[in-house]
Structure 1
Amino acid sequence: MCGCWHAGRVDRHELCVRFAAELWLFLPPRDRHADLRVPYDGTSSLGHVVESAGVPLPEVGSLLVDGRPVTPSYRPLTADLIRVLAVRRPQQVPSSRFVLDVHLGTLARRLRLVGVDVAYRNDLDDDALIGQANAEERVLLTQDRGLLRRRGLWLGAYVRGARPDDQFRDVLDRFAPPLAPWTRCTACNGVLSPVGKTEVEELLLPGTRRSYDTFARCLTCGHVYWHGAHGSHLDEIVDEASRIVAPHVS
């Protein structure tokens, strides 16, 4: 049980909040424990209180007060027993389409490899990212907590992990998107289509022409693909993605 809930009295300028352990990474190290006393001005919404503590609202699955769900606009009382739960996995979203911020280029390519619809450019600022997410109904994936707090963003998610391998696993585990490996261009996100060798022969190096016969071409940018020497590593990435998503597929 939450210790501050049983202290007998909570200061009128504080709230006692229990954050789910999955959300502790957003809290300062000194505050990563079950019970947190959060400063309160007596008028702010619970959503504001949660974000002021460091937790972006898109990472919150539900807010409970005395065991009953409330909305972020709820204005808490110091006597409230508040719990902040993390998003349940797999998270249900209106569309398994994503846009990634400029720091997640490797993740974008890996998601495209397994057929996930991912928009990515390395020259977009925050306003442009939010605009694209909203206009195309894409989930914005980022490690920028401030970006997730922007009120104009329709839907976003924080990507956990410092390494691309960990980020890849996190996104697949969280959203369990439909997979269609080898169907998207890893460079531009366009759709790949099988193409005859004779149609792309002039684009190939001599060694590639001699060694391979099966090719695909991006219908958007024209990039040509084949299962080359690095194919075994890509196969491992695809196999891992299938293992992560499979338990969530009915």
Structure 2
Amino acid sequence: MERPEIWISFAPELHVFVAAAQRRGRTAVRTDGASTLGHVVESLGAPLTEVGVLTADGREVRTSHIPADGEEITVLGVPRPQQLPGPARFLLDVHLGTLARRLRLLGVDTAYESLDIGDAALAARSAAEQRVMLSRDRGLLRRRELWAGAYVYSHRPAEQLKDVLSRFAPPLAPWTRCTACNGTLRAASKEDLHEQLHDGTERSYDTFAQCTDCGQAYWRGAHHSRLNDIVEESLQEFGGPPDRVRH
């Protein structure tokens, strides 16, 4: 018996994942007659983390749908902002350290693995802590145990940040998290931080903060202007409450 043939179309934002043949629009694809639509879509290259509405002959279907011969399948990307089953908290793999620091700078709860602990361990942590796994590794994003996941489309940290903020719209609270460990910051005095401050720093600055977890000290140093530009641009484009504790 001849295998069923379906006609499938991918939204333009998903073209980065699929072969050139599927980028030209409506394409014929043979299936085995038993695999789910989700399996078919992933076999063509698109992680389900990036897939929104699926339709078969114009009606919305689930990833568990078994495509029938001749069906017209449309695969759309995820809507923005994307709804999550819980708070927008993130887990980033070893390749996204700069993005992790920028999200923390904006007060977004962001865990980061600085070592390559493997896909299984990352997926398990995503599930255990209910964090969105952010990665450029498509194989990792196909792991079923993930709580939620998202592909990071750009290599450039500035574009990565805008992509994540646009997609998930997390509440922003700049200058409230430690960029080193993700702990929360509290106001601190010179006396509290005396052992961490050089004489010049202690003389030149009056406003300090300290991480409640790792003890890292923060103040408005030479790097502040560059970081403030990131904060102000993000607030202007994506909104958020007034900043509270500043470096």
Secondary structure of the 1:222 match is coil
Pair 1:87-2:78 in alignment: yes
Instruction: Give per-residue Cα distances to partners, 1:57-103, cap 9 Å, x unaligned.
Output: 11111111111111111101121111001000011112110101111
Q: Which residue of 2 aligns with 1:6?
A: none
Q: Which residue of 2 aligns with 1:189?
A: 182
Residue ranges of structure 2 left out of the alignment (5+ in a row): 241-247
C-alpha contact 1:172 1:244 (8 A) present in aligned 2 = no
Whole-angstrom distance in 2 between the partners of 1:105 and 1:44: 37
Q: Which residue of 2 aligns with 1:140?
A: 133
User: How many Å apart are 1:121 and its aligned residue?
Assistant: 1.8
Whole-angstrom distance in 1 between the partners of 2:46 and 2:159: 21
Pair 1:171-2:164 in alignment: yes
Pair 1:245-2:234 in alignment: no
Q: Which residue of 2 aligns with 1:29?
A: 20
User: What is the TM-score when the length of structure 1 is the normalising length?
Assistant: 0.91
Instruction: Give per-residue Cα distances to partners, 1:168-203, cap 9 Å, x unaligned.
Output: 110011011000000000000000000011111221
Q: Which residue of 1 aligns with 2:202?
A: 209
Taking every aligned residue pair, what percent have the same amino acid on both sides? 56
**Residue type of the partner of 2:56?**
V
Whole-angstrom distance in 2 between the partners of 1:144 and 1:39: 27
Residue ranges of structure 1 left out of the alignment (5+ in a row): 1-10
Whole-angstrom distance in 2 between the partners of 1:46 and 1:190: 42
**Stretch deviating more after TM superposition (121-130 or 154-163):** 121-130
1:135–1:216 Cα change, 3 Å: same
Pair 1:77-2:73 in alignment: no
C-alpha contact 1:190 1:221 (8 A) present in aligned 2 = yes
Secondary structure of the 2:38 match is helix
Pair 1:120-2:115 in alignment: no
User: How many Å apart are 1:12 and its aligned residue?
Assistant: 4.8
Q: Of Structure 1 and Structure 2, which has the larger fraction of its residues in helix?
A: 1
Q: Which residue of 1 aligns with 2:245?
A: none
Alignment match of 1:219 (pick from 199, 212, 226): 212
User: How many Å apart are 1:29 and its aligned residue?
Assistant: 3.3
Whole-angstrom distance in 1 between the partners of 2:200 and 2:27: 63
**Residue type of the partner of 1:107?**
L
Q: Once superposed, which parts of structure 1, at least 4 consecutive aligned residues long, lie more than 2 Å away?
A: 11-14, 28-31, 36-39
**Residue type of the partner of 1:99?**
L
User: How many Å apart are 1:39 and its aligned residue?
Assistant: 2.9
Whole-angstrom distance in 1 between the partners of 2:3 and 2:17: 25
**Residue type of the partner of 2:79?**
R
User: How many Å apart are 1:30 and its aligned residue?
Assistant: 4.2
Q: Which residue of 2 aligns with 1:149?
A: 142
Alignment match of 2:45 (pick from 51, 54, 60): 54
Whole-angstrom distance in 2 between the partners of 1:90 and 1:13: 36
**Residue type of the partner of 1:171?**
V
Q: Which residue of 1 aligns with 2:58?
A: 67
Secondary structure of the 1:106 match is helix
Q: Which residue of 1 aligns with 2:243?
A: none
**Residue type of the partner of 2:97?**
G
Whole-angstrom distance in 2 between the partners of 1:73 and 1:197: 60
Q: Which residue of 2 aligns with 1:232?
A: 225
Whole-angstrom distance in 2 between the partners of 1:86 and 1:110: 26
**Stretch deviating more after TM superposition (100-109 or 28-37):** 28-37
Whole-angstrom distance in 2 between the partners of 1:188 and 1:177: 19
Whole-angstrom distance in 2 between the partners of 1:221 and 1:245: 29
C-alpha contact 2:54 2:76 (8 A) present in aligned 1 = yes
C-alpha contact 1:22 1:86 (8 A) present in aligned 2 = yes
